[in-house]
A and B are shown apart, each in its own frame.
Chain A
Amino acid sequence: MDAQEPHDAAGDSRIRVWDAPTRIFHWLYVACFVAAWLMLDAARLDWHVLAGYIALGLLVFRVAWGFVGTRHARFRSFAAGPRAVAGYLRGIIGRKSPHLAGHNPAGGWSILAMLALGLAIGASGIVALGAMHGYGPLAVLANSDSALALRELHEILAWILLALVPIHLAGVALGSFVNRENLVRAMIDGRKSGLDCADAVAPHTLLACLMVAVAAAGAFAYRRHADDAISSAGKAPHAPADANAKAWNEECGSCHFAFPPALAPARVWLAMIDPATTHFGETLDLSAGRRAQLEHFAAAHSAEHEAGWVAERTRRADWGAQRITATPFWRRLHRDLDFEALKRSGRVAAAYDCGACHRDAASGKFEPRAIQSQ
């Protein structure tokens, strides 16, 4: 291969320093990171998670490649000590830094940081996914007490990685300027100019093709699995076959969305239908028979009796105002929505018109993938 090294317009020989798998990793990692930020909306959680899985797979490969890959891709070649970093930065200021084939000592550390953060983001994402929603490889963590904290951690790590991006870009710009070498182009075609032929590395094109094929096959398999999950998300766990369920759906559903009983603990439901108090300022005028039916249904299916993340949240929520829309966890999960605008557009009847967006609201599951954003 080296005999066929192309020459650029100036006739200066450009040799390959980045093999194809390293470059494919770089750009797919960028694509996954961008995609994950664009798919923050809970309705697109599936795509967000897919981007995360691909990024994690890429990162695992990159770590292995850091040990067995080509010369400049190995960690050993760019994990320099603090003294080397300081020396390199001093050189940059004096504009006499050496033109290096691989990463410079400062860049090496930012690469290591971005790889480590990516792994931490992926790991925390999988843990949060399992704990919040009971999905993914760690679904057994469902309803863990620290679910929201884990999601928070996932978010904070992603912000740190996002903050590293401009530093990385500034380093690329500075390096390109100081050494008169377009480093972006180098990460695209893998070549740098003005170097010794001994620095050249093998292309490993086949391995890069294999990486893309594995990522594509994984994405395809994941999407099929996700589509199956969506079609089953709307099914109610307890079909309203019994008379109490029917009474519940009729009485509640006459005036507003018939909230599934998992949305509140029994004491909250009982207070809501207590004839001695009003129902948010309204009188219900339930017959004694109907009220008894509602009481039985609430007692049998309230948050204390249902599984799933919603029941877990509503059990422990602060019910001071007796409204689901006033509970801190509900407000947090819906903080980005402008319900006044949604009401004006006719999209929802009220903030508590759960079924307008959650296709599986009647079942009480409230899976993120069952949210319909339009």
Chain B
Amino acid sequence: MNIVHRAIAASILGLACGAARADAVSGLLAQYQKQGASNFSAASGQSMWIKPFNDPKTGEPRRCATCHSEDLRRVGKHATTGKAIEPLAPSANKERLTDAEKIEKWLLRNCKWVMARECTPQEKGDFLVMIQSR
């Protein structure tokens, strides 16, 4: 495969991921709106991203950035297992935000890990628009 073919393949993949991302995110945002959310804000998402919550069991502060790092374009590190977590920012990792089921699963699981409760539809939408902008 020469460089031209590779570039074409990469742009097709990029376009496909971009389209899938637009679909997955807009579908979820519409769903959150139906659940009562409105006016999603990347700024609110960002402030929640770095806000610490004390874990009720250990008392230690937990943030989204604990595992994903403050800069979403960088590789994060799982707080317990130490495993590298690929960047969340679509600009650094084309596959992000392309699978609605996966997004919902991790928002559920990780909101509970950080805040010891599920995120509201508003919070989830704020996160999505913030991540999408990175």
Contact = CB atoms under 8 A, between A and B. Distances in A.
Chain A, interface size category, equals 10 to 19
B84 A282 contact: no
Contacts of B78: 255-256, 349
A200 B81 CA distance: 70
A287 B82 contact: no
A281 B101 CA distance: 24
Given A282-B113, A285-B112, A255 B83 contact: yes
Interface string A233-260: 0000000000000000000000111000
Interface string A14-56: 0000000000000000000000000000000000000000000
A284 interface: yes
Contacts of B109: 283-285
Interface string B90-113: 000000000001000100110011
B39 interface: no
B112 A283 contact: yes
A161 interface: no
Interface residues of B, number: 14
Contacts of B133: none
Nearest to A283: B112
A281 B58 CA distance: 11
Contact of A343 (B80, B82, B84, B108): B82
Interface string B16-41: 00000000000000000000000000
B60 to A, nearest CB: 13
A284 B109 CA distance: 7
Interface string A267-285: 0000000000000111111
Interface of B: 57, 77-78, 80-84, 101, 105, 108-109, 112-113
Interface of A: 255-257, 280-287, 343, 348-350, 352-353
